[in-house]
Chains A and B, each alone.
Chain A
Amino acid sequence: MDSRRIRVSAGSIDQIHAQFILIGGSEMMSKFEVICRHTLATSVLHWVNALCVFLVLMSGLQIFNAHPRLYWGKYGANTDRAVLGITQRDSSDGQALGVVRIGNHELPTTGFLGVSRDGAGNPVERAFPSWLTIPSYQDLATGRRWHFFFAWLLVFNSALYFAISFFMRHVQRDLLPTQEQLAPTHILREFWNHLKLRFPKGDAARRYNSLQKLAYLAILFVLAPMILATGLTMSPGFDAGFPWLVTLFGGRQSARTLHFICAMAVVLFIVVHLAMVVLAGPVNEIRSMITGRYILPSSRMK
């Protein structure tokens, strides 16, 4: 016991002791450190947020499937020029091919976008495949019910997150990059370390790195507000009260396109976020997001 150094910023020693025996396992002889990363509030809000984001994304794709074309400007319907469309084209042998059209370019996407297989394995013509939409079958009315319910929950959850995080100085203390972290050479070095999958050690392992901080800040202060604002701009009722929003985004159809682009940026964030969790040690990372406690092995303590 004496050989182990434990530093905690919260929680009772008994709790830490119990965890120490449980987790130590085969590494009983090595040293490690328990870092209290998250408060209970942050972890509850994170998981409610994760649930909501998945459900609004997938019900959003259901809504997109009802009219899988995006436009720029004040109006846009079938006979107008689309900036992006997921559609079908007949191949020489009469089979339907799935294609994505961006401007004048056409990408073949059969099997995923435009034409995919349903639960029974039959090819169906639909923009996003059934395994990405809620419900899995085409049902705009139900997709909208899921989307708006969980969008409201997401708004309340996010409001609580912002209030608590500012009040408890989580944003100011943990998320704002330090002067030194913002230096271009530092950011470049971190970028390089990320590419080589080299994880931080010592003090740097005890806080968020600058790329991480910038990614979280971009989600919180750019993407989330953009998604909310462009979503509201699609509402004809809301537009009557806040017409400047429509002007700001260059029209309702532009707002719809931006809403989709921002949602795809969130998908990109989730992919990188989950990849980093897997690469950095999924058990330790997921436990730290549930219990708040992160185990820093001796190899990365200094």
Chain B
Amino acid sequence: MTGRVLTRRQMLLRGSTGLGGLLLGGCDRLSESPSFRRILESAESLSYHSQRLLVGRHALAREFKQSDLSPVFRSNGTSAPDTPEYNQLLVDEFRQWRLKINGLVMRPLDLSLNDLRLMPARTQITRHDCVEGWSAIGQWTGVPLSALLKMAGMRSATRYIVFYCADTLETGADHYYESIDLVDAFHPQTILAYDLNGKPLPVANGAPLRLRVERQLGYKHAKYVMRIEAVQHLGHIGGGKGGFWEDRGYEWYAGV
């Protein structure tokens, strides 16, 4: 029996490991509870409203010099959509590709890559921040989203701009999609980019066209954009949270 007597130190150690396990198990259970998640998720609107309050609508993300460019611009998410439809477009270098702009607009648009290249362009060297933690600096050239929305004549009921993409990230899942509010849609650095570092956008980085929303994290920067829609609500699209990753628990406002 004496061998089984616990010293005070062992008791404390066992007690604290047991307590630690209990607390961790508790945190896992809380993470899965919908009502507790709603409490945790309330912090997102605090972050969104405080940033909209403290940071001017048109405050620009920092722009860098050529010498600041990342030697390799890492890609993330889909590296090649690899669907028959996309591969068809890729074969003739996106000559058949069309960007559709519709929804709450006066004049729905149907534009070729060449139409976009002929419009006034903006070039910016910016930092891309992934939600995972890494950053890469690249030079983007493209059409300001505001120019396209003005061309299409956005209706006053519009509250969000939704981007529908050619890629699927999970087998059986819907295509990737993203959405932003009008503050970001009309921000001068929000562009639809067709060039990266002075060359046509590589497939891994979203060819032929990707969104740049410079004041938010990487997953907002939808790649392989096929259609843009002006909408009043997000509830009826995809999982209803405004984006592929948002439907999987990530914040819709990815400025943090």
Q: Name A's B-contacting residues (CB within 8 A).
A: 55, 58, 63-64, 66-67, 69, 71, 74-80, 130-131, 134-137, 139-142, 144-146, 148-149, 151-152, 234-243, 246, 252-253, 256
Partner of B250, one of A67, A144, A237, A256: A144
We find that the number of chain B residues with CB closer than 8 angstroms to chain A is 52
Kindly report which residue of chain A lies nearest to residue B59, judged by CB atoms.
A240
Q: Closest CB-CB distance, A228 to chain B, in whole Å?
A: 13
Q: Closest CB-CB distance, A61 to chain B, in whole Å?
A: 12
Kindly report which residue of chain A lies nearest to residue B134, judged by CB atoms.
A77
Given A67-B133, A152-B46, A253-B135, check contact A136 B215 (CB 8 Å): no
Q: Are A67 and B130 in contact (CB under 8 A)?
A: yes
Q: Are A145 and B43 in contact (CB under 8 A)?
A: yes
Q: Are A148 and B133 in contact (CB under 8 A)?
A: no
**Chain A contacts for B24, CB-based, 8 A:** 130-131, 134, 136
Q: Closest CB-CB distance, B173 to chain A, in whole Å?
A: 16
Q: Are A149 and B42 in contact (CB under 8 A)?
A: yes
Kindly report which residue of chain A lies nearest to residue B28, judged by CB atoms.
A135
Asked if B182 is an interface residue, CB under 8 A from chain A, the answer is no
Q: Are B59 and A241 in contact (CB under 8 A)?
A: yes
Q: Closest CB-CB distance, A199 to chain B, in whole Å?
A: 20
What 0/1 pattern do residues 210 to 248 of B give for CB contact below 8 A with A?
000011110000000000000000000000000001001
Kindly report which residue of chain B lies nearest to residue A66, judged by CB atoms.
B132
Q: Are A144 and B137 in contact (CB under 8 A)?
A: no
Partner of A77, one of B72, B214, B255: B72
**Chain A contacts for B135, CB-based, 8 A:** 74-77, 252-253
**Chain B contacts for A236, CB-based, 8 A:** 61, 127, 129, 214-217, 255
Kindly report which residue of chain B lies nearest to residue A141, judged by CB atoms.
B249
Q: Are A69 and B40 in contact (CB under 8 A)?
A: no
**Chain B contacts for A144, CB-based, 8 A:** 131, 250-251
Partner of A146, one of B31, B61, B72, B215: B31
**Chain B contacts for A134, CB-based, 8 A:** 24, 27, 31
Asked if B41 is an interface residue, CB under 8 A from chain A, the answer is yes
**Chain B contacts for A241, CB-based, 8 A:** 51, 54-56, 59
Asked if B111 is an interface residue, CB under 8 A from chain A, the answer is no
Kindly report which residue of chain A lies nearest to residue B48, judged by CB atoms.
A237
What 0/1 pattern do residues 30 to 44 of B give for CB contact below 8 A with A?
010000010111111
A196–B68 Cα distance when bound, in Å, is 53
A253–B127 Cα distance when bound, in Å, is 11
Given A77-B135, A135-B27, A145-B43, check contact A243 B251 (CB 8 Å): no
Partner of A246, one of B39, B62, B72, B255: B62
Q: Are A145 and B245 in contact (CB under 8 A)?
A: no
Q: Are A135 and B216 in contact (CB under 8 A)?
A: no
Q: Are B31 and A139 in contact (CB under 8 A)?
A: yes
Q: Closest CB-CB distance, A218 to chain B, in whole Å?
A: 27
A26–B243 Cα distance when bound, in Å, is 66
**Chain B contacts for A139, CB-based, 8 A:** 31, 249
**Chain B contacts for A140, CB-based, 8 A:** 131-132
Sorted from nearest, which 8 A-B pairs have the closest CB atoms? A237-B255, A241-B55, A141-B249, A67-B133, A77-B134, A149-B43, A67-B132, A145-B40
A64–B132 Cα distance when bound, in Å, is 8
Kindly report which residue of chain A lies nearest to residue B21, judged by CB atoms.
A131
Q: Closest CB-CB distance, B44 to chain A, in whole Å?
A: 7
Kindly report which residue of chain A lies nearest to residue B74, judged by CB atoms.
A77
Given A141-B248, A141-B250, check contact A66 B133 (CB 8 Å): yes
Q: Closest CB-CB distance, B127 to chain A, in whole Å?
A: 6
20 CB-based A-B contacts, threshold 8 Å: A66-B133, A67-B134, A74-B64, A74-B137, A75-B135, A77-B72, A77-B134, A77-B136, A131-B24, A135-B31, A141-B245, A145-B40, A145-B43, A148-B47, A149-B40, A237-B51, A239-B215, A240-B60, A240-B214, A252-B135
